């Protein structure tokens, strides 16, 4: 029972980016949860109540340490930079945005610094016209730490796939079964690659936190995100689990539903179509060309399969380089590393009518295409988002890139979304 | 029973570098075990019989893949290079050593290339006067892959400790209990730091492969090297395990005994004395200054403690840079990064009389000091060695550095030692 509750909590926090909260939960004061206050994982050994392990990493406040130490908890695979290439130097033009005041959307005036603290931010950077105008780290995280992206990973995966489509290496209209015979009898079998990329493949995926045989647990256990309980009899690996999802939830292509498993299928398709490991391809086509400071990495399942729906980790500045590359339509660090057409297609967004009712009510009027959110705001800003407050925001008109790593107590970004949008608007306006 | 056998085999292979074989075991032909023949971990997913996991990684031939993919099997922690520093360029002067013929010590003539193949070599490099005269990789491993060092890790750990002694940060004559109160009531309590560094602390450590409660299993399970069996009740972490070794095997300081746990205690002392994580200190003092091409990393236990007795992983050239730094008495890449006195002390070696009878009969006449082997050969060559054929060889007189990564079916280097010595002698002579 206790164990059930523990897994329930952890998994809820981990996997639910979709369920909106109707009211703001009671949260600990952010200033009480800085790492210097918490003293997590300090000492040799750390005291038992300060010990973060794979079994407890996502119980707040442990994420404040864990979300930038994931490889110490789970197996991982590197996404190599080019060891002989120069780092792409970032130019700085500090604009002191921390003191910028704005209405957080609830009638309260706040500053960027306060908003960052109140949303449990670990690291935050703003680039304007390619120059860093603001960069800050919470105590306990630094510019060399690799933070987990959670579902921002999906957008990296989606970009890789969209680029393969433009290169003619991937047919968006082919069926999943064409590339992944193992999924022939699954719910994905007759879905198209594009439907999976847009999360409109209609797959029944049960998220019942009271039922240990529920799909959400089988995903967490089979992928290694949660330690397998004693006497676990479910799928041993991510691929086995994906193939076990055989029930469709409707007709493919009609309705967006936010499901991490869709992104995992995208990566499986990428590997089958390219014959390459996802991380190797990502290194070859993007990471080795970005002028990255450090290798990135991705968590892998017990059979070595990269968790392309949420397992990527990178430093703040390297992810900013990636985002800036997207803002510049694939041209960065002296070369066109991703097809311009692929990125232009992503910027166009998806069908808003299909997005509605997909569980992300706080993103009303938006769409999801190739694993990116198109906000359809006045500037056509693009977003990537992950639980616990991970974000890339790209505003093409304001020539703005924002990256935020956080370890918010709550997984869903639904009730921080209003203040985050207000902060982004204020920053955008201040930089005009 | 089957499970018992499986763990037994894996653990034997993993941990025993000390037991000599009386006869050469039957081995598969090395050419049949190249990765291109084996096709391990190829495909999405790999076929079941080609799947390498944490549970089977050390059953031959799986090590041929696993030993340069360890972080994909177990949690790890990075040892960061300096991301803004230039790579220390290696100069090349190819001497075509592959065709060099020599008597392998058994009356058989062989070549360096054949010897490399016959000892299941994954990667091999020779530096003469600081220049690379030979560098080769087995198919399936490349110059960017990080290979596990196994017990060569001990020598990195020992160097860090020896340097701390010279810096006045560590008192070699203080007791273990002085630095690590948690070990006060253990067998190490009243041993000195120097005795632990020289593996003459007298600690009873049972290696009974038929007994699951034996220390060797408790080490493997508590450190995470082997997956914990169902209903495992032993220590949850490496530190807990070390503290549980309470029986002395005799008087401290009298007899060398090869025990990985001694090196783990060295690292614990380092962390307590410095207040720093072992990997952070190693990065700050050595890896960030080496001009390394890639970060190194070390496997960690379930509580995040680095496995400093065998868990380090690095690329071939980066480990060669490290070894060349040692050959140059700590001065490399433009700076004195490790105290010259510390390295000179290591080169002197330990007491040969204490080394004798310590279980490493094939290293007759040698000694062990600060976690390095002094061969006491004509040139006073220094060695670091790890199971399955990992090696650093530093010949100060011939100005020679050799690094070898292997995935030999047998853990112990006892019966490859003769041919390896013959190869090193031939290479040394050829370069005069």
Q: Does B44 touch chain A (CB under 8 A)?
A: yes
Structural domain boundaries enclosing B330: 1-172+275-432
Assigned domain for B166 exists = yes
Quick check: B87 and A87 CB within 8 A?
no
Q: Is the pLDDT of residue B221 over 80?
A: yes
Whole-number percent of chain B with pLDDT over 90: 83
Task: Give the contacts of B233 (CB within 8 A, at least 6 positions apart).
Answer: none
| pLDDT surpassing 80 at residue B428 | yes
Asked if A296 has any chain B CB less than 8 Å from its own CB, the reply is no
A151 is catalytic: yes
- Burial bucket for residue B334 (CB in 10 Å: 0-12, 13-18, 19+): exposed
Nearest residue of A to residue B242, measured between CA atoms = A45
Residue A80: list chain B partners with CB under 8 A.
144, 294
**pLDDT of A236:** 94
pLDDT in tens, B226-262: 888 888 889 999 999 999 999 999 999 999 999 999 9
Touching check for A72 and chain B: CB below 8 Å? yes
Does the distance separating the beta carbons of A302 and B53 come in below 8 Å?
Answer: yes
Q: What is the mean pLDDT of chain B?
A: 92
Cis amide prior to A61 (ω within 30 degrees) = yes
Which contiguous run of DSSP H or E holds residue A343? helix A340-348
Residues of B in contact with A230 (CB under 8 A): 230
Question: Which of B120, B146, B140, B134 shows the shortest CA–CA distance to B60?
Answer: B120
| Angstroms from B206 CA to nearest CA on chain A | 24
Integer Cα distance of A250 and A199 in angstroms: 13
Residue B55 lies in a domain: yes
Query: Which chain B residues have a beta carbon less than 8 Å from that of A268?
Result: 44
Chain A CB contacts of B244 under 8 Å are none
d(CA A55, CA A76): 17
Distance (Å, whole) CA B319 – CA B390: 11
* Contact check, Cβ <8 Å, B304/A54: no
- List chain A residues with pLDDT less than 70: 1-24
| B88, part of any domain | yes
Cis check for the bond before B61: say yes or no (omega within 30 of 0).
yes
In a domain, B74, yes or no: yes
- Cα–Cα distance, B74 to B302 (Å, whole number): 9
From CA A220, how far away is CA A234, in angstroms rounded? 11
Q: In a mutagenesis test of the B interface, which of A39, A48, A72, A291 is the best target, namely the one with the most B β-carbons within 10 Å?
A: A72
Reference B402, options B324, B311, B286; nearest CA is B324
pLDDT single digits (tens) B95-126: 989 999 999 999 999 999 999 999 999 999 99
Q: Sheet of A400-406: strands edge to edge? A: A91-92, A131-137, A121-128, A400-406, A390-395, A382-386, A372-374, A367-369
Is the per-residue pLDDT at B20 higher than 80? no
Contact yes or no for B51 and A293 at CB 8 A: no
- Does the beta carbon of B264 lie under 8 angstroms from any beta carbon of chain A? no
- Is there a contact between B304 and A44 if contact means CB atoms under 8 Å apart? no
User: Nearest by CB to B72, which of A69, A80, A300?
Assistant: A300
Taking the Cβ of residue A47 and every Cβ of chain B, the question of whether any pair is shorter than 8 Å is answered with no
Partners of residue B41 in chain A, C-beta under 8 Å = 304
Residue B89 to chain A, least CA–CA distance (Å): 9
Decide if B388 is inside a domain: yes
Residue holding tokens 């037994």?
B8
pLDDT band at residue B21 using 50, 70 and 90 as cut-offs: very low
Domain count, chain B: 1
- Report ipTM for this prediction: 0.93
CATH number at B350 reads 3.40.710.10
Give the per-residue pLDDT at B8: 38
Partner residue facing A295 (CB), from B73, B295, B302: B295
Catalytic site positions of B: 151
**B73 touches A at CB < 8 Å:** yes
Check if A45 contacts B (Cβ < 8 Å).
yes
| A78 at B interface, C-beta within 8 A | yes
Token representation of residue A164: 């393969």
> Touching check for B108 and chain A: CB below 8 Å?
no
B60 belongs to a structural domain = yes
Written as six digits, the tokens of B214 are 């034996």
- Give the number of beta-carbon pairs within 8 Å between A and B: 93
Q: Are B337 and B286 in contact (CB under 8 A)?
A: yes
Q: How far is the C-alpha of B334 from the C-alpha of A285, rounded, in Å?
A: 34
Q: Which residues of B touch A84 (CB under 8 A)?
A: 87, 293
Asked whether residue B33 is domain-assigned, the answer is yes
Evaluate whether residue B255 is within a structural domain: no
Residue A244 touches chain B, beta carbons under 8 Å: no
């Amino acid at each position: 029972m206790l164990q059930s509750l523990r897994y329930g909590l952890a998994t809820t926090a981990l996997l639910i980016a979709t369920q909106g909260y109707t009211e703001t939960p009671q949260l600990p004061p952010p200033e009480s949860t800085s790492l210097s206050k918490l003293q997590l994982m300090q000492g040799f050994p750390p005291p038992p109540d300060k010990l973060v392990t794979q079994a407890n990493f996502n119980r707040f406040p442990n994420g404040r340490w864990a979300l930038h130490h994931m490889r110490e908890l789970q197996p991982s695979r590197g996404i190599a930079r080019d060891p002989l290439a120069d780092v792409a130097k970032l130019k700085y033009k500090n604009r002191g945005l921390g003191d910028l005041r704005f209405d957080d959307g609830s009638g309260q005036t706040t500053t960027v610094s306060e908003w960052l603290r109140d949303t449990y931010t670990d690291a935050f950077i703003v680039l304007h016209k390619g120059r860093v105008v603001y960069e800050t780290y919470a105590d306990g995280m630094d510019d060399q730490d690799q933070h987990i992206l959670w579902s921002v990973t999906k957008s990296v995966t989606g970009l890789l796939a969209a680029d393969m489509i433009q290169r003619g290496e991937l047919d968006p209209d082919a069926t999943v079964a064409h590339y992944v015979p193992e999924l022939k009898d699954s719910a994905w079998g007759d879905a198209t690659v594009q439907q999976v990329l847009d999360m409109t493949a209609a797959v029944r995926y049960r998220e019942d936190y009271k039922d240990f045989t529920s799909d959400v647990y089988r995903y967490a256990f089979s992928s290694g995100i949660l330690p397998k309980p004693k006497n676990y009899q479910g799928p041993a690996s991510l691929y086995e689990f994906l193939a076990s999802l055989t029930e469709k939830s409707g007709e493919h292509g009609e309705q967006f539903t936010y499901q991490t498993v869709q992104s995992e299928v995208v990566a499986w398709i990428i590997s089958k179509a390219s014959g390459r490991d996802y991380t190797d391809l990502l290194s070859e086509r993007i990471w080795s060309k970005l002028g990255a400071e450090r290798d990135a990495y991705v968590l892998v399942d017990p059979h070595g399969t990269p968790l392309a729906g949420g397992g990527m980790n990178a430093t703040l500045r390297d992810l900013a380089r990636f985002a800036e590359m997207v803002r510049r339509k694939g041209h960065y660090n002296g070369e066109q590393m991703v097809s311009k057409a692929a990125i232009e297609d992503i910027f166009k967004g998806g069908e808003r009518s299909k997005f509605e009712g997909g569980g992300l009510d706080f993103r009303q009027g938006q769409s999801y295409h190739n694993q990116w959110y198109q906000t359809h705001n006045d500037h056509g800003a693009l977003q990537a988002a992950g639980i616990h407050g991970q974000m890339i925001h790209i505003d093409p008109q304001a020539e703005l890139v924002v990256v935020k790593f956080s370890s918010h107590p709550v997984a869903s970004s639904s009730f921080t979304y209003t203040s985050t949008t207000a902060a982004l608007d204020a920053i955008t306006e201040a930089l005009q």
